[in-house]
Chain A
Amino acid sequence: MKHIASAAALLVLLVAGAAQARNIDLVTLPPRDTVQLTIYNSEDLTLVRETRSVTFKKGANRLEFSWANTLIDPTSCYFRPLAHENEIEVLDTTFPQDRPEVLIWNVDSKFEGQVPVEVSYFTSGISWNADYLMVTNAAETTMALDGYVTVVNNSGEDYEGAQVRLVVGKINLVEKIQQLAGVHAYGGVDLNGVVQEKAKDLKTDALRSTFATYDARSGGMGGGGANALAKQQQREAVIVKEGLSEYFIFTIEGWQTVKTGWSQRMSSFRAREVPFDVLYRYRPHQYGDKPVRFFILANDKPHKMGDSPLPDGMIRVFRENGRDGLTFYVAQSSKYIPINEKIELNVGKDDQIVYERVVLDVGRQNFIYDENHKPEPVVVGWDETRKWQEEIRNYRQKPIKMEIRHVLPGDVTFGMEVPGLKLYDFHTPEYTLDLPASTKKKFTSDGTFLLGRNMKQNRVKLAGQ
């Protein structure tokens, strides 16, 4: 981890009996062995877990943990030994009133010697997001699909050689980490004054030299060493996905360097020759008065995916234009897509497909009257028959399939000679029409509306069903 103007540091205070010097410390600086970032994209939250080796003496040990110019939530700082757990216990944690961004763990140890320990804490300012690149072939039958994750670091801290894990899912927080990071652990006001800055700088300077030594020795955090790092750099980092409770964790293989202020984009998966279907949909209540084109595929094995859910993110769709170049179709945000879920990508309206529906004829019958109305009886109920004509004009050079939803309010009986006619919901017949390349075709359908007092229901009934 490289430090520029900030630091999160663990110091072992050499305690000389009960009488402690107030302003003069003698400390050792155990270097960080590993660091792991677990970044949540649903909240501004990152769990940092770092391991260090600390040498304990028997009896009371004081450990000071400090952070400066970072967005660490002090209430989340946690210390635990990774060995001799039954012999080492944190007795209390002290947040000194006069030294913000510092805590002291008083640790009782029955063991003497070096012990690996883990320090974990929440920080804000690091986020990640997913995005996707789709490039279809010219015939629009298969596509190359690339998924990416981008880690954005605005935490004020450089993270080098860190293991990065990304959490897909929505967690619950009752307070924002960024707010907690700005509040003293006692609940007091943040003391970001000049005096405190000077105090921090002293620690920071001391730490820098330590970490500089460490970096040179190990070739970066994570303990992988120069050889491993060099090997990793010959190819993209592989992202390993695993499910955990209701969440999914993407672990980026190897060790990553994300400097503060930078964003880093990495490939999360690649799928090639992914088959997909093109489906036109006409749903004026949902997509407007023109048919829209969808690319339909699924996050499953037949589509060469399905290893993990696809986090929500922007999908950018291109098409190979058949002239050794690309055509840009659309950029569309996608919701979270679980494994085996369908992916329906709206690539917009297509001017070469025209759909028109008109009422071709209207008739009325079965009148009922309010005979008591003066001066004459009036119509209070009747049936109305409508004949619709739908015309689809396919100006494209390939056949199309169009799915139509026809919302009909009221008490309606709907009939159409088309295979697969069904009700999408209580007032929406749904049917799919096929059209060969470069053709125009007309379809007719009928509806009988029971209106006024004739209306007994609010639903569509399919004729003959």
Chain B
Amino acid sequence: MRRNRWLMGLVLAATALAVWAQPAAARIKLATLPVRERVEIQLENENATLVEEERVVTLLKGTNHIDFSWTNTQIDKWTILFRPLAVADTVRVINQSYPPGENALVWEVFADNAGPVKVRISYIIGNLRRNFSYRATAENSEKTLTLRTYMRVNNYSGEEFGMAGVWGGIAGIFQKEMGLQEAKEILVAKFAEVPITKKFIFNWQSGQRVPDEPNQRYVIMDYVLKNEGAKGAAAKPAAKPGEEATTLGTFPLPYGKVRIFVKDSKQPPNEAFLGEDWGQFTPIDDEMKLYLGQARDVKVERTVKKNDRTAIHGNLFSQEVIVQYKMQNFKKDALTLDIEEDMNALRNEFCGGGKDHEASWELLAQTTDKSKVERKSAQKVEIHVALPAAPKADEKKPDEVKKPDEVIFLLHLMFKNEW
């Protein structure tokens, strides 16, 4: 504790009461300086960092004044707690007072007996924050990946904590030197062989247009990993980089940036950067979706094959629509394409825009496979279409071009009672 420079100090003032009756500017103190025995930095709450420190103070029998002061740090003085440990009621805080014009408070503590007492002081401190990030390295097969979770602690609090326990709300407590103006990135956990699925999504409304192809949109792709693992397994912090990892599903994955890499097929493999995305907070058993970019080897053309209106009475009508999706997979692996349709937007395309009511619709018979049409809500529909892998080149005729098969899916709809 360097009191003269960045002081956050605890002073046990062995003074008479009369000394404390002086005006604030003239507080004369004869003091012992109990050092920190243990510090723990609680970063679980992303909006408020709690520091808990333990010190041993030597108390006189009777009334003692303990002065806690700080400079160049942002401590919320109303959150400061003082708790004597393991002394029952033999040490009592009588009151606490805040001197004018100082970052300080004074506890008046009464001790039944003289001697050392361990106390814990807790407070909320500013400019000591954390954030999480991930590095995901997918195997060349893109069936599994290794996920490393990092916690970055930025200590701009103005205080040097020395060796401190750092708790980010997940995994374990890490004993780290927390220096002044220092940022530290801690490997919180490493998860190996995490199964991933790759999702391919076609969305007519939000997809990027393909140049010169008015009926096409680019397909996007996600990695999806599930935060699940062996039930009941205790979270094991990967205190050392490279340590064998624990399994997922032992704690929620916090929000943070995920940088995604993939291994190539060389031995030993190199890594290529695939992209990055914000990983959302993912509770245990939930899924984390990571947007990777566009999958340009999957081609989708959307055309409308039927658009018939049937008058009911006056301006009331029904609209029959058939949307055709023609798909080709140029990849060497088979995949499932998810086609997302916004039924309100689709209705507005054919029944006139600007409706102030939701679409009322039903699937009709010419739909290619109704079981593949998943009604997420009245507005959102997802169609799951299996696309075979592109044909392999014939070894005997390497120059012969083999195009992938076209897969056609029809979505046959009736928008009912529109006007």
- Residues of chain A whose beta carbon lies under 8 Å from any beta carbon of chain B: 2, 4, 131, 133, 160, 233-237, 257, 259-267, 314, 316, 318, 321, 323, 325-329, 331, 351-352, 354, 358-365, 367, 369, 371, 373, 376-379, 382, 384, 386, 389, 393, 395, 438
Q: Are A395 and B378 in contact (CB under 8 A)?
A: no
The CA of A369 and the CA of B44, in the complex, are separated in Å by: 60
Q: Are B94 and A395 in contact (CB under 8 A)?
A: no
Query: Per-residue CB proximity of B345-372 to A under 8 Å, as 1/0?
Result: 0000000000001111000000000000
Query: Per-residue CB proximity of B33-64 to A under 8 Å, as 1/0?
Result: 00000001010110010101000000000010
Which of B92, B97, B124 interacts with A262 by CB under 8 Å?
Answer: B97
In angstroms, how far is the closest chain A Cβ from the Cβ of B80? Answer: 10
Q: Are A261 and B377 in contact (CB under 8 A)?
A: no
The CA of A373 and the CA of B283, in the complex, are separated in Å by: 57
Q: Which residue of A lies closest to B252 (CB)?
A: A352
Which of A264, A321, A395 interacts with B97 by CB under 8 Å?
Answer: A264
Q: Is B131 an interface residue (CB 8 A)?
A: no
Q: Are A2 and B110 in contact (CB under 8 A)?
A: no
Which of A264, A362, A367 interacts with B313 by CB under 8 Å?
Answer: A367
Which of B78, B79, B95 interacts with A236 by CB under 8 Å?
Answer: B95
Q: Is B108 an interface residue (CB 8 A)?
A: yes
Q: Which residue of A lies closest to B99 (CB)?
A: A262
In angstroms, how far is the closest chain B Cβ from the Cβ of A309? Answer: 21
In angstroms, how far is the closest chain B Cβ from the Cβ of A98? Answer: 32
Q: Are B98 and A359 in contact (CB under 8 A)?
A: no
In angstroms, how far is the closest chain A Cβ from the Cβ of B111? Answer: 10
Which of B42, B63, B108, B315 interacts with A377 by CB under 8 Å?
Answer: B315
Q: Are B252 and A326 in contact (CB under 8 A)?
A: no
The CA of A327 and the CA of B108, in the complex, are separated in Å by: 26
6 nearest interchain CB pairs? A261-B100, A377-B314, A395-B283, A358-B377, A263-B98, A364-B417
Additional A-B contact list (14), CB under 8 Å, known A328-B42, A362-B378: A133-B81, A234-B92, A234-B110, A237-B94, A261-B99, A261-B100, A261-B101, A318-B50, A323-B167, A328-B44, A328-B79, A331-B79, A371-B314, A395-B252
Q: Are A395 and B24 in contact (CB under 8 A)?
A: no
Q: Are A438 and B285 in contact (CB under 8 A)?
A: yes
Q: Which residues of B contact A264 (CB under 8 A)?
A: 95-98
Q: Are B283 and A352 in contact (CB under 8 A)?
A: yes
A378-B81 contact in complex given A328-B124, A360-B375, C-beta closer than 8 Å:
no
Q: Are B79 and A360 in contact (CB under 8 A)?
A: no
The CA of A260 and the CA of B100, in the complex, are separated in Å by: 8
Q: Which residues of A contact B286 (CB under 8 A)?
A: 354, 393, 395
Q: 28 interchain pairs (CB within 8 A)?
A: A235-B110, A259-B23, A259-B24, A261-B99, A261-B101, A264-B96, A314-B78, A316-B78, A321-B42, A321-B44, A325-B42, A326-B50, A326-B81, A326-B122, A327-B169, A328-B48, A352-B252, A359-B378, A359-B379, A362-B357, A362-B360, A362-B378, A363-B417, A377-B313, A379-B316, A389-B377, A395-B284, A395-B285
Q: Are A4 and B315 in contact (CB under 8 A)?
A: no
Q: Which residues of B contact A233 (CB under 8 A)?
A: 63, 94, 108, 110
Q: Are B24 and A262 in contact (CB under 8 A)?
A: yes
Q: Are A358 and B63 in contact (CB under 8 A)?
A: no
Q: Which residue of A lies closest to B122 (CB)?
A: A326
Q: Are B358 and A362 in contact (CB under 8 A)?
A: yes
Q: Is B88 an interface residue (CB 8 A)?
A: no
The CA of A238 and the CA of B378, in the complex, are separated in Å by: 63
- Of residues 359 to 400 in B, which have CB atoms within 8 Å of A's CB atoms? 359-360, 375-380
- Of residues 59 to 97 in B, which have CB atoms within 8 Å of A's CB atoms? 63, 78-79, 81, 92-97
A328-B45 contact in complex given A316-B79, A365-B417, A369-B313, C-beta closer than 8 Å:
yes
Q: Is B236 an interface residue (CB 8 A)?
A: no
Q: Is B21 an interface residue (CB 8 A)?
A: yes
Q: Are B99 and A2 in contact (CB under 8 A)?
A: no
Q: Which residues of B contact A260 (CB under 8 A)?
A: 100
Q: Are A326 and B378 in contact (CB under 8 A)?
A: no
The CA of A154 and the CA of B323, in the complex, are separated in Å by: 76
Which of A235, A314, A358, A376 interacts with B92 by CB under 8 Å?
Answer: A235
Q: Is B273 an interface residue (CB 8 A)?
A: no
Q: Which residues of A contact B21 (CB under 8 A)?
A: 2, 160, 257
Q: Are A323 and B417 in contact (CB under 8 A)?
A: no
Q: Are B378 and A327 in contact (CB under 8 A)?
A: no
Q: Is B1 an interface residue (CB 8 A)?
A: no
The CA of A157 and the CA of B123, in the complex, are separated in Å by: 31
In angstroms, how far is the closest chain B Cβ from the Cβ of A412? Answer: 15
Which of B24, B50, B376, B377 interacts with A327 by CB under 8 Å?
Answer: B50
